[in-house]
Amino acid sequence: MSSVTELLWTEKYRPRSLKDIINQQDITARLMKFVNEKNMPHLLFAGPPGTGKTTAAHALAHDLYGDAYQQFMLELNASDERGIDTIREKVKEFARSKTPPDIPFKIILLDEADNMTSDAQQALRRLMELYSASTRFILAANYPSKIIDAIQSRCAFFRFTSLKKEDVVNRLKYIADKEKIDYEEEALDIIFEISEGDMRKAINVLQASAYLGKVSSDLVFKVVGMARPKDVRDMIETALKGNFIEARELLRKVMIEYGLSGEDVVRQIHREIMGSDIKISEELRVLIADYLGEVHFRIAEGSDEDIQLSAFLAWLSMMGKKLGA
Amino acid sequence: MKIPWIIKYRPKKVDDVINQEEAKSQILTWLHSWLEGRRPEKKALLLYGPPGVGKTSLVEAIVKEYDLELLELNASDYRRTQDIRKTVAIASQKRPLFKRMTLILMDEVDGLSPRGDIGGIDELIKIIPNTINPIILTANDPWKDQLRPLRELVSMVEFKSLTLNQTISVLQNICNKEKIECEREALKFIAERSMGDLRGAINDLESVAEGYGKVTYNIVSLVIKGRDKSIDLWRTLNGVFYAKEAWQAKRSVTNSEEDYETLMAWFNDNVPLKYGDYEDLFRALDSLSRASLFLRRAKSGNWDMLSYVFDLIGPGITFSRKNGELLKNRFSYPERIKIMAQLKGLRESRDRIAGILAKRLHTSQRFVKSDLMQYIIVMLRYGNIEKAAMLSRAYGFNEDDLKYLTGNRYKDIQKEIELLKEGRSVEEKEVSKVRSVEEKEKRHVSLETFGAKPTNKEESKKKYRKSK
């Protein structure tokens, strides 16, 4: 890689081969066996975000098919595909495509499979049977309990656990040294704490911090703060003070400045009300979450986001006045 | 308190009413015979013509000039048999008090709905022949079937549409008095769209001036899509805010020819200007949010649901106000409509960026949007500029997308990208050596100004020129 190329470090330092994956050793050992036997069942990778599920799937394909493995692997993300029909079309087309020279199957990686409805999963199960002669599915999910039994029973199950502190910190150190950046040891600990074992998030925080200067604990905190639109918190607090009109101006500012969609804003609000930066009673957090969920559902159903969020802010101002008064 | 322009600039004298000379002389002749104690053959007049040409204004000017007592009933008042009996019938028999004659004005008789105003027209037919006080009725469309018996009892007075130039000169006059910058082209645009409806034109003018501070062709052509001739948005809003019964509020909404989304955007922005009590406000916006939900259901094919949309917008908002008084604020153009175009571009950028990154990083676009994107923005807006430029280049973001990600820093990053392109072929190493020294200074700067603004632009520009 030449010195004038700069990539996101999560891309640059993604392990390419199973042997490069330093943690989750019991998992990689089992996967390597499949590589040696040149055969595998359908797989279900379950575990929290940033623990290496997608990486392991790619590494497995890499080790099976070599560097040009991408042509024998179809990657789909259930959160982004527009329903089971588009998935079916893509799978159908892919199943017809060229087969690898000495391995009898191709791989379909379906990421975030737990975001599929159970009806869609039923259809998926039929797809898995229909094309089982020429393809193997790897399903990745945060919550395996959301995957229907009929699919679970057809897959070999792999549970990815949250990364240990030393694994994350060592990896961060490795990257920091490669990138020749200045850092304080303590800052890496902080990054681990903040990212809650999510390697991807940890690396993003490291990279953003490094761009701003010497990676110190203070800097890390600042970067994480900056990465969260502060206006969302201001908006909630302003509304809770009973100031609806000002809160709605903030809402529109956030949407303009960050180009957030209604659903984006709902997610940010959710994060804030369950976070520690906002000082409200625990009971109120639950009430807000309940109402917010309704708002989220309505927006997802296709109703007008500006109107739904306005109603939410009006509700917040009312609650704020009632509880404050 | 601000007074809406249509009230502020309402004609004060009969002479102020423009372009209705024939109507004026017809009305005044009729009125003079009343004043001289000779009751005319036809005891009532029906003024008809398109909305906003001055029917009501002329009557009000006459009342002022001749010092009459005015009893006015308009669309939002009760107009059923018993209501009319209670008010009009009594007034029609009232003896002049201190020689002041009472003039009865009933606006929009063509709006008397057969359903809501049960018997209203029949009652009028009984009253008119026996009245001892002059009665004036107005209508946009006097040829409706339900008005036939009424037409035989009254003298018909026609009001003409205003010409384009007349409308423009009224608007220009208001601009001068309000000291607002108005382009003639913009006024012409408003006048053309109003199709002779002066009230509509003034409302448009005011709402644009209010929302934007000036009236230019660009703004006007963007904001005003074409005025609905039967009931415009402002009338819809007023109709809902001032309705006394559910059916009135609902009718205001169903009569509007604006599309539902626009209508809801207007209510969404104007309810908070009218409802000061926080419970009222919540109830109203909650009702609106459910209207939006029902609209969605209707649009997915279940058109029966549309009726509930009207219920929840109209009466839903009207009767949400239980605690507070209606505030005197003026209506404003929805912020929403102004920012829509801007927002659309930004979201397209976000989607494209998410598409690129999701593919490269093997993750979902949703994750990129909800999580990663913020870190990229921090890197590109506040981070080391050389790295930021390199990163921008590596992912092939287009101009709009880069503008979104880099914010104020777009030009600097663009310049840096150019430098990278040149630097690669020539003396790449030397340049980067010089930079790496500067890097340390710059990091220093960026830490100090941290959080407030992106690093000092002017300073870094100078440095680049030097290093070049």
Chain A residue numbers with beta carbons less than 8 Å from the beta carbon of B363 are: 54, 77, 111, 200
Q: Which of B277, B278, B376, B405 is the best residue to mutate to test the A interface, defined by the most A CB atoms within 10 Å of its own CB?
A: B278
pLDDT band with cut points at 50, 70 and 90 for residue B225: low
* Residues B370, A302: C-beta atoms closer than 8 Å: no
Chain B residue numbers with beta carbons less than 8 Å from the beta carbon of A49 are: 367
Q: For A86-90, which contacts have Cβ atoms below 8 Å and span 24 or more sequence positions?
A: A87/A120, A87/A124, A87/A127, A88/A123, A88/A127
Cβ under 8 Å to B: A residues 47-66: 49, 54-55, 58
User: Of A145-159, A245-259, A299-313, B265-279, which range is least confident?
Assistant: A245-259
Q: Which amino acid type is present at position A277?
A: D
pLDDT at B433: 52
Checking if the pLDDT of A146 tops 60, the result is: yes
Q: Which amino acid type is present at position B333?
A: Y
pLDDT digit string (tens) for A116-142?
Answer: 888 888 888 888 888 888 899 999 999
Q: Coil, strand or helix: which one is B167?
A: helix
Chain A residue numbers with beta carbons less than 8 Å from the beta carbon of B293 are: 298, 301, 303
Checking if the pLDDT of A325 tops 60, the result is: no
Chain B residue numbers with beta carbons less than 8 Å from the beta carbon of A242 are: 278
pLDDT band with cut points at 50, 70 and 90 for residue A226: confident
Query: Using alpha carbons only, how large is chain B's radius of gyration in Å?
Result: 31
Q: Say if residues B69 and B99 touch (Cβ distance below 8 Å).
A: no
Q: Are strands B44-48 and A106-111 parallel, antiparallel or unpaired?
A: unpaired
Average pLDDT over residues B84-102: 75
pLDDT at A14: 92
* Residues A307, B387: C-beta atoms closer than 8 Å: no
pLDDT at B163: 85
Virtual CA dihedral for A14, A15, A16, A18, nearest 10 degrees? -150
B334 CA: distance to closest CA in chain A (Å): 11
* Residues A208, B383: C-beta atoms closer than 8 Å: yes
Q: Coil, strand or helix: which one is B75?
A: coil
Chain B residue numbers with beta carbons less than 8 Å from the beta carbon of A201 are: 371
* Residues A80, B374: C-beta atoms closer than 8 Å: no
Q: How many CB atoms are located within 10 Å of the residue B468 CB?
A: 11
Average pLDDT over residues B397-409: 89
* Residues A298, B293: C-beta atoms closer than 8 Å: yes
Does residue B274 or residue B74 have the better pLDDT? B274
Q: Where are the alpha helices (DSSP H) in B163-277?
A: 164-178, 184-194, 198-212, 217-223, 233-242, 246-255, 260-274
Does the ipTM exceed 0.90? no
Cβ under 8 Å to B: A residues 186-215: 200-201, 204-205, 207-208, 211-214
% of chain B at pLDDT higher than 70: 83
Q: Coil, strand or helix: which one is A15?
A: coil
B467 CA: distance to closest CA in chain A (Å): 17
Chain A residue numbers with beta carbons less than 8 Å from the beta carbon of B352 are: none
pLDDT digit string (tens) for B17-66?
Answer: 888 888 999 999 999 988 888 888 888 999 998 888 889 889 989 998 88
Q: How far apart are the C-alpha atoms of B122 and A2, rounded to whole Å?
A: 91
**Among all chains, which residue has been given the structure tokens 């018997």?**
B119
A74, closest residue in chain B (CA to CA):
B362
A195, closest residue in chain B (CA to CA):
B371
* Residues B394, A7: C-beta atoms closer than 8 Å: yes
A77 CA: distance to closest CA in chain B (Å): 6
Q: For A1-7, which contacts have Cβ atoms below 8 Å and span 24 or more sequence positions?
A: A3/B432, A4/B390, A4/B420, A4/B423, A4/B424, A4/B428, A5/B390, A5/B394, A6/B387, A6/B390, A6/B391, A6/B393, A6/B394, A7/B391, A7/B394
- Rounded to 10°, the helix B399-406/B373-382 angle is 80
Chain B residue numbers with beta carbons less than 8 Å from the beta carbon of A302 are: 296, 299-300
Q: Where are the alpha helices (DSSP H) in B68-163?
A: 81-84, 90-92, 120-127, 148-151
Average pLDDT over residues B362-389: 89
> Which residue of B343, B404, B424 is in closest CB contact with A255?
B343
A249 CA: distance to closest CA in chain B (Å): 9
DSSP-derived secondary structure for B403-429: HHHHGGGHHHHHHHHHHHHHHHHSSHH
pTM strictly above 0.90: no
Interface residue A12 vs chain B (CB under 8 A):
no
pLDDT at A31: 93
A291, closest residue in chain B (CA to CA):
B286
Cβ under 8 Å to B: A residues 145-174: none
pLDDT at B447: 42
> Which residue of A4, A8, A49 is in closest CB contact with B420?
A4
**What does the mean pLDDT of chain B come to?**
81
pLDDT band with cut points at 50, 70 and 90 for residue B435: low
Q: Which of B378, B424, B445, B447 is the best residue to mutate to test the A interface, defined by the most A CB atoms within 10 Å of its own CB?
A: B378
> Which residue of B272, B394, B428 is in closest CB contact with A245?
B272
Q: Where are the alpha helices (DSSP H) in B300-372?
A: 306-318, 335-361, 365-367
Checking if the pLDDT of B456 tops 50, the result is: no
pLDDT digit string (tens) for A281-316?
Answer: 999 999 999 999 999 999 998 899 999 999 999 999
Average pLDDT over residues A82-97: 84
> Which residue of A49, A58, A208 is in closest CB contact with B378?
A208
* Residues B382, A212: C-beta atoms closer than 8 Å: yes
Chain B residue numbers with beta carbons less than 8 Å from the beta carbon of A238 are: none
* Residues A229, B374: C-beta atoms closer than 8 Å: yes
A219 CA: distance to closest CA in chain B (Å): 9
Checking if the pLDDT of B116 tops 70, the result is: no
* Residues A306, B336: C-beta atoms closer than 8 Å: yes
pLDDT band with cut points at 50, 70 and 90 for residue B434: low
Chain A residue numbers with beta carbons less than 8 Å from the beta carbon of B347 are: 259, 261
> Which residue of B349, B360, B372 is in closest CB contact with A204?
B372
DSSP-derived secondary structure for B424-468: HHSSHHHHHHHHHHHHHHHHHHHHHTTTTSSS-HHHHHHHHHHH-
Checking if the pLDDT of A5 tops 80, the result is: no
Chain B residue numbers with beta carbons less than 8 Å from the beta carbon of A6 are: 387, 390-391, 393-394
Q: Is B40 exposed, middle or buried (0-12, 13-18, 19+ CB in 10 A)?
A: middle
Counting one residue from A and one from B, how many pairs have CB atoms under 8 Å apart?
177
Does residue B131 or residue B2 have the better pLDDT? B131
A256 CA: distance to closest CA in chain B (Å): 6
pLDDT digit string (tens) for B339-361?
Answer: 776 777 888 888 999 999 998 99
* Residues B383, A211: C-beta atoms closer than 8 Å: yes
pLDDT at B128: 87
